[in-house]
Structure 1
């Protein structure tokens, strides 16, 4: 019978283990927070800054019959490094009325749609926040439920509702309100309807959250001091829920500026928004440098409200502290 010798595991002394534990705890205390903060920065670097730099590089190039269809910024010519930066694409966008009108119309559609979502979403959020606890979750589910369906299917559904022989016109004809079908589909009105319907939940939910956190003792104090309900609403309730209003407005305004599907399917030839221009330049014309320039300018336009929102949130946090 073969006997195997036992291997005794030599453990470090208790003092040594305690010192290692203290060193690890100190390292976590000194560097753990930096690592946690570094993760979202790494995420932004990978998914935002790096693609932005790639698109910006393409915007400084020229269109070429090649794969990919643009010239190189850095190349070797006669044994020397040649760097060619082309700003003609940006000058072309700023001087061509087609692109300028597309930017202005995109901002107009986004602003009007955001205002419509606010006027509809605030009363809806108020009704949900002040409903019975037993029905509140059901109302919230009804607000969120359309988002569970494919975005494209919902837009196609509105095409069936708004067309000349669609549900809306047939209903109005049955009521006798109109004598002939209304031309709604492929107009700017259809674009506003589609945008407001699609992005309304993004306005309702932040306002609902702000209303649930509202200190209603301040509202009661305002009413007890003789303020009318309308005065109390605009002087007390709206300022206290301003954070939810701004957050909802940003969630509606920013994606609406670059919207492509809704103007393409519900809008007409006059609904020229920057998303459609971007698609045409990139896929139809295969002019990647101009398309990249369009995207960069659109991104710079959207950074302005984001910075303003960030400053507002910082001031609000300092005020609460």
Structure 2
């Protein structure tokens, strides 16, 4: 009779292996993420501090200034751009993702998805300048419209141009995440809904949407988070009238204002807003799609 093998002994110091494994990335995150964030929070408590001055936290004046009427308009414009581009990406991306996941030939799906990923291989700055070339008064779009006898459109340096640029930038993310959710759609439930007499619209709202809601939430929150901090598209396509919170923060640190305390308070508010959005993404999003 064979003697049973003795059970494997557990390492006496399991924390040592974890420290060796997680120590370097943990140190990296602390130095480049946690520590700078703490410095920003400290600077946000110093009113009217400029480069080179002594840091002496003394109150919440900078945070009170965030809620001035002019700054609230800037924050509201940032929320408008982020939510509007999210809605536009959802309206454009859902039909495309549904067609690729459920109706396109299986052998072409990877190629179709690659077509949506290709724009991400180029710089976002180059893509935005391409839209400037298309939307400017003498650009490609107006050239085509005037050649067809239609009136030219004034889009550049206006809000519609910002929505166009942001939707173009974030549409691939929306399509990819929705595709991952729609690919798992249970077709038997769709067939059962049709057998029970539901029309396509009722099936869509009562079967498709509930099944894919986590993917919709994940894609929408990801686009919203990215749009809330977008700097390039509003700055280059919207002009001076499209001031966003990202541009306002830039002005406090690198522009003429040079008020690091107020810029840090704005940054802290933006960090908190993004953190709340990420918490919602973790809670309601489809973890297998993100």
Instruction: Report the TM-score when normalising by structure 1.
Output: 0.80
Deviation, structure 1 residue 268: 2.5
- Aligned residue pairs total 280
Q: In the TM superposition, what is the alpha-carbon distance from 1:41 to its structure 2 partner? A: 6.6
- List alignment gaps of at least 5 residues for structure 1: 1-17, 74-83
The 2-side partners of 1:42 and 1:309 are apart by 26
Q: Which residue of 2 aligns with 1:22?
A: 8
Q: Is the 8 A contact 2:137 2:154 kept in 1?
A: yes
Q: How does 1:158-177 map to 2 (within 5 A)?
A: 158-177=131-150
1:31 and 1:231 mapped to 2: Cα distance? 55
Instruction: Write the distance in 1 (CA, Å) between the matches of 2:20 and 2:274.
Output: 28
The residue aligned with 1:201 is 172
Q: List aligned pairs for 1:19-168, cutoff 5 A.
A: 22-23=8-9, 26-27=10-11, 45-64=30-49, 68-73=51-56, 84-94=57-67, 96-129=68-101, 130-168=103-141
Change in Cα spacing, 1:220 to 1:31, as seen in structure 2 (3 Å) is farther
SS in 1 for 2:240: coil
Partner Cα separation in structure 2 for residue 222 and residue 44 of structure 1: 49
Secondary structure in 2 matching 1:184? coil
Task: Output the aligned Cα RMSD.
Answer: 2.6
- Mapped contact 1:207–1:244 kept (Cα < 8 A): yes
1:242-261 correspondence runs (5 A): 242-261=213-232
Higher radius of gyration, 1 or 2:
1
Cα distance change of structure 1 residues 144 and 32 upon mapping to structure 2, 3 Å threshold: farther
Query: SS of the counterpart of 1:165?
Result: coil
| Aligned-partner Cα distance in 2 for 1:245–1:150 | 26
Question: 3-state DSSP class of the match of 1:105?
Answer: helix
CA contact (8 A) 1:58 1:292 kept: yes
Alpha-carbon contact 1:62-1:71 (below 8 Å) kept? no
Q: Deviations over 1:44-84 (max 9, x none)?
A: 5454332221110111124445xx444323xxxxxxxxxx4
Distance of aligned partners of 1:124 and 1:43 in 2 relative to their CA distance in 1, 3 Å threshold: farther
Which fold has the larger relative contact order, with Cα–Cα distance below 8 Å and residues 6 or more apart in sequence? 2
1:216 aligns with 2:199: no
Distance 1:28 1:244 in 2: 43
Runs of 4 or more above 4 Å deviation: 28-47
Q: Give yes or no for the alignment of 1:263 onto 2:234.
A: yes
SS of the aligned residue for 2:11 comes to helix
Q: Unpaired segments of 5 or more residues in structure 2?
A: none
Change (3 A) 1:37 1:276: same
1:301 shift after superposition = 1.9
